Amino acid sequence: MWDLLGWSALIGILSGWGQEPPPLKPVQPLAWEELALFSLPHDPDPMIEKTVANYLQNLSQLGINQDSQGVWLASDWWTFADHRGRIPQSAASLTKIATSLAALETYGSDYQFVTKVKHTGVIAGGVLQGDLIVEGGGDPFFVWEEAIALSNRLNELGIQTVTGNLIVTGDFFMNYQQNSQTSAQLLAQGLNSQRWSKQAQQQYQTLPNETPRPQVRISGNVIVKAQGDFPEVTPLIEQQSLPLTQILQQMNIYSNNKLADLIARSVGGVETVEAIVRETTGVSPEEVQLINGSGLGVTNRLSPRAVTKMLRMIDGKLNAQGGSLREILPVSGIDVGTVRDRAIPQGIPVKTGSLWNVSALAGVMNTEQHGRVYFAMINQNGNLDTFRQQQDQLLQSLQQQWDLIPFDQNVAVQLGDPTRID
């Protein structure tokens, strides 16, 4: 076999020795190689540049200095507008975008904080003859509705009275309070419907009609202890928080400063938030200068470019799991909170920001022509209502030039959901 095949191959090689090789034929490109995806845009859109220039000119005609304003408008492929876009300015609640990015990078979008409940002693005849121990797991959104759900589960497990103490350990925050003793006292109040405040009563009314009014009465004291071991403790309940994206959504819809600061604290503080933003976006330290996670204070400074880069990073992270920025931002024309009275075109996820002399707006437009286009406007030293009106008009003008694909509505958030308690 070798003789036959080997000699045949050798003869074939020798017969072609010294002959000119056949000319190479160019390979025809495949269809996917000719897609627009492989072509970067060469020129900006002059109409968009003119639209942004008109926006700035309108501010000037209203007596507002253009040098106090910042604008950045960009897609994944092109920067459409840049007016002082790399200069950090007081960003107000756009800071919460940085906090959102840091939380998503630290925990992941589906992360849930866990509050654990244990007890000493025995349960008999509706009475826990011992202590009730609540171990916080850092849930920044443990509010009245969550305490009511917890108390109802305790009632289901046969506990109406605790003869011992309510002992709170770990990172437990109630109604955004960072003071441990205050949070523990609020929890004791929330467990017993006979002690509910007017606010607790109001939040109870938001729960499903069939929700019972629970009662767990603490006979002993309310005690805060450092994390430690307790003798003869029996695990009782684990209560999971809302998924992180829903917590961030509520923070951003209502621009909740206390919630934002708690989330920033949970990831390691504002220094960690800054470090995560710089590492993930690649912006310079000068473009990200923060003093807290909420944006409360004029010394929280971000450049418009840094804001859009953060939005792109978050959007990409959520998109990898089938989501988008609508998972964590209010959607214009659909949600309430800070976008209720705005004239922003419907279906755009946005984040607003306001201080006494600052109005900011950032978000993403889903366009037919350019895909996702991210924008940030930071306005200073003028009337806030005027700034908001001009911001909305700019987005309306962009809507007339681009075919927008509106984002749809988010899944409703259900606080006090008993299915999150095991």
Q: Which of 241, 274, 290 is the last residue of a domain?
A: 241
Q: Indicate which CATH number applies to the domain containing 359.
A: 3.40.710.10
Same domain, 134 and 225: yes
Same domain, 259 and 362: yes
Residue 226, pLDDT score:
82
The pTM of this model reads 0.88
Q: Could you tell me if residue 71 is inside a domain?
A: yes
Same domain, 219 and 173: yes
Ranges of residues in the chain whose predicted pLDDT is under 70: 1-44, 228
Phi-psi region for residue 225, left (φ > 0), alpha (ψ -120 to 50) or beta? beta
Same domain, 77 and 133: no
Same domain, 124 and 219: yes
Residue 10, pLDDT score:
44
Residue 11, pLDDT score:
45
Same domain, 358 and 387: yes
Q: Which of 175, 209, 241 is the last residue of a domain?
A: 241
Q: Which of 102, 359, 421 is nearest to 248 (CA)?
A: 102
Residue 97: how many other CB atoms lie within 10 Å: 30
Q: Could you tell me if residue 255 is inside a domain?
A: yes
Q: How many domains does the chain have?
A: 2
Q: Could you tell me if residue 413 is inside a domain?
A: no
Q: Could you tell me if residue 416 is inside a domain?
A: no
Residues 411, 413, 419: CA angle, nearest 5 degrees: 110
β strands within 127-184, DSSP E:
127-129, 132-137, 161-162, 166-171
Q: Which of 241, 276, 297 is the last residue of a domain?
A: 241
pLDDT in tens, 185-202: 999 999 999 999 999 999
Residue 287, pLDDT score:
98
Residue 35, pLDDT score:
42
Q: Could you tell me if residue 41 is inside a domain?
A: no
Distances (CA, A) of 408 to 240, 244, 330, 347, 412: 27, 20, 11, 6, 12
Same domain, 121 and 196: yes
Q: Could you tell me if residue 35 is inside a domain?
A: no
Residue 29, pLDDT score:
41
Q: Could you tell me if residue 351 is inside a domain?
A: yes
Contact present, 388 and 379 (Cβ < 8 Å):
no
Residue 31, pLDDT score:
42
Q: Could you tell me if residue 121 is inside a domain?
A: yes
Same domain, 156 and 96: no
The one-letter amino acid at 189: Q
At 183, list the tokens. Answer: 């949070």
Residue 27, pLDDT score:
42
Determine how β-strand 217-218 pairs with β-strand 288-289: unpaired
Same domain, 249 and 352: yes
Same domain, 306 and 391: yes
Same domain, 190 and 253: no
For 251-295, give the secondary structure using H, E and C.
HHHHCCHHHHHHHHHHCCCHHHHHHHHHHHHCCCHHHEECCCCCC
Residue 228, pLDDT score:
67
Same domain, 157 and 305: no
Domain of 283, in residue numbers: 46-110+245-401
